[in-house]
Amino acid sequence: MRLSVCLIAKNEEANLKRVLGSVKPVADEIVLTDTGSTDRTIEFAKAFGARVCHFQWCDDLSAARNYCYSQAQGEWIFWIDCDEELLSESADEIKQCLSRKGVFAYLILRQDLKDLSRPDLYSEMWLPRLFRNHKKIHLRGRHHEQFEPSLTDLAAKEEQVVETSEIRIRHYGFAGPGRADKFQRDVKLLELELQERPGQLYYQIELYRTLLLMADDRWKDAFNEAVENFKQFINDEHPPTPLAASLLETLLQLPESELPANMTPSQLVGLAQRWYPRAAPLLWVLAKQDYEKGRFEKAEIQLRRLIQMGKEHSYDRYVGFDPQIFAEQAQLNLAVCLIRQAKLVEANEILESLLSIESIRPAVEKNLNAIKDIRGPFLKRKRRKRKK
């Protein structure tokens, strides 16, 4: 089965060596659609053997990708972005996936890095990136593109299925330079999308999340619009979209006095537990709330669960988040919960294991000193008893 690797690019010469070098071993062809580069993107792409085609940029990522897919000649298409790379250990997995019968598409795992110096620290999310080159494959949405019709529907019509895979790509876009420019572009495209097709909860949430990441005060208005739309779903058995977990995350952190009318903290906690029992960001927020209300044992249980999910990668992998919440920060907070419950031996062990991490060392040292202060009087009394 021939594989076409498809990507769109504009002024990506800094990233092309990494991404094209990673896919070259598995690609029967590389199709790069350029949307107006003024650097050496086209030159670099051709040097890697890519077939370059051109598309006039029209503020629509789906339109550019659909054009790129129309140029693909392989039986299968693998979609990758310029700020990503295919991990080398996934090459054999791709070949195996292409040889399986009855499968229309595969979800792959994208590792989202937050810090370029910590490639070991990432969250993973499922993405539909490997699929058959079918005449009805079509994306819609100016940004955060969606298949329409869905890959699942197309697969069913072909009497095939969509499966998960162990294919992994690494995403550098959240950790590298140029985030501010990307955010500005993203906001523009999301606003255009909502002007053309208003009332889409998915895109309303993406808009407020992007504005929040930019520290742009407009996020509050975008958030309120999303919440108004969200209200109609709160009695449903299932969530309207996996992305609604992000909306719940923000709502849970609001003071009760600032919650929308007819919404209560207990209602939101119930939604989080019913809809997203394995959503790491929501577990983090719930653990924090338990701690702040003095429910240290409950907070400990939540944090242990979060840490275990991080080790096993058994968390909900449909929404990206900061991986710190199940790494060092979770360990540190667990130690603090243990101190509050006088479980000092385990707390001390955890804190000592974190001493080498520069970013949290001051907090670690502060809590180790707190343990010494607690133990001090106890040890003195113990020594006095021994003397008697």
pLDDT at residue 378, rounded to an integer: 54
Q: Within 10 Å of residue 380's Cβ, how many Cβ atoms?
A: 10
Does some domain include residue 305?
no
Instruction: With CA atoms as reference, report the closest residue to 325 among 384, 285, 364.
Output: 285
Does some domain include residue 255?
no
pTM: 0.89
Does some domain include residue 70?
yes
CATH code, domain carrying 12: 3.90.550.10
Average pLDDT over residues 23-47: 97
Strand partners, 126: 109
pLDDT at residue 385, rounded to an integer: 52
The residue from 138, 171, 204 where one domain ends is 171
241-276 pLDDT, tens digit per residue, is 999 999 999 999 999 999 988 899 999 999 999 999
Contacts 24+ apart (CB under 8 A), 320-327: 320/112, 320/123, 320/125, 320/174, 321/123, 321/280, 321/281, 322/114, 322/123, 322/281, 323/112, 323/114, 323/121, 323/122, 323/123, 324/114, 324/121, 325/280, 325/281, 325/284, 326/280, 326/284, 327/121
pLDDT at residue 321, rounded to an integer: 86
Give CA–CA dist 60/189, Å, rounded: 7
C-alpha distances (whole Å) from 120 to each of 21, 58, 126 are 21, 37, 18
Spatial neighbors of 178 by CB under 8 A, at least 6 apart, are none
Average pLDDT over residues 296-306: 96
Peptide linkage before 119 cis (omega within 30 of 0): no
Query: Tokens 């501010």 — which residue?
Result: 180
- Please say if the pLDDT value at position 377 is more than 70: no
Cβ-count burial of 76 within 10 angstroms (0-12 exposed, 13-18 middle, 19+ buried)? buried
pLDDT at residue 379, rounded to an integer: 46
Number of domains in the chain: 2
Does some domain include residue 271?
no
Query: Tokens 């970013």 — which residue?
Result: 359
Query: Tokens 């598309």 — which residue?
Result: 55
Share of the chain above pLDDT 90, in %: 85
pLDDT at residue 128, rounded to an integer: 97
Does some domain include residue 280?
no
Range of the structural domain that residue 49 is part of? 3-171
| Local structure of 257: helix, strand or coil | helix
Q: What's the Rg (C-alpha) of the chain?
A: 24
Q: Within 10 Å of residue 40's Cβ, how many Cβ atoms?
A: 14
Secondary element (H or E) of residue 77: strand 76-79
Does some domain include residue 32?
yes
Average pLDDT over residues 3-32: 97
158-211 pLDDT, tens digit per residue, is 999 999 999 999 999 888 777 788 899 999 999 999 999 999 999 999 999 999
* Tokens at 300, concatenated: 């400990």
Strand partners, 85: 170
The residue from 145, 171, 197 where one domain ends is 171
The residue from 148, 171, 194 where one domain ends is 171
pLDDT at residue 383, rounded to an integer: 47
User: pLDDT tier at 105 (50, 70, 90 boundaries)?
Assistant: very high
End-to-end CA distance of the chain: 84
Does some domain include residue 96?
yes
Across the chain, what does the average pLDDT equal?
93
Does some domain include residue 137?
yes
Give CA–CA dist 46/387, Å, rounded: 83
pLDDT at residue 326, rounded to an integer: 87
pLDDT at residue 100, rounded to an integer: 95
C-alpha distances (whole Å) from 53 to each of 64, 68, 136, 381 are 11, 8, 21, 80
CA 312 to chain centre: 16
116-148 pLDDT, tens digit per residue, is 888 888 989 999 999 999 999 999 999 999 999
- Please say if the pLDDT value at position 384 is more than 70: no
